[in-house]
Amino acid sequence: MADTKTVSGMHYSPAMDEKTHEQTYRGFVRFVEIGTSVVICWVLALAIGGVHEAWLTAIFAVLLSGVAGAVGALAPAVAWKAPAAVAVLLVLYLFFA
């Protein structure tokens, strides 16, 4: 997103609320980061189920990634890191189990 304070000729119109606009943009970016991390977890869970025939583990991983995504959504300091930690555990399980 362009920085409106440094780009000449680009300003928010008086009808637009700059603070709300920026908060909405940051929220959308955070949502995309968390969503992408959760979907990566789902793909890894499917790989675990397909490669190791461990479908109960895959189901547990999907549920765990959903909980991690919810924690990341509710705690902005954690954000995408919670589902990313689950993804790291799934990669380790995929290669070392």
Q: What is the pLDDT of residues 11-54, one digit of tens each?
A: 666 677 788 888 999 999 999 999 999 999 999 999 999 999 99
Q: Is residue 81 part of a domain?
A: yes
pLDDT of residue 21: 87
Domain around 94: 53-97
Q: Is residue 87 part of a domain?
A: yes
Question: Which residues does 40 contact at the CB level (< 8 Å), separation at least 6?
Answer: 83, 87
Contact 80, 89 (CB under 8 A): no
- 42-55 pLDDT, tens digit per residue, is 999 999 999 999 99
Does 3 have pLDDT greater than 70?
no
Q: Is residue 38 part of a domain?
A: no
Q: Is residue 95 part of a domain?
A: yes
Cα–Cα distance, 56 to 62 (Å, whole number): 10
Alpha helix (H) ranges present in the chain? 18-52, 55-74, 81-96
Report the domain count for the chain.
Answer: 1
Cα–Cα distance, 65 to 10 (Å, whole number): 41
Q: Is residue 43 part of a domain?
A: no
> Using 50, 70 and 90 to split pLDDT, how confident is the model at 74?
very high
C-alpha angle 76/57/84, rounded to 5°?
25
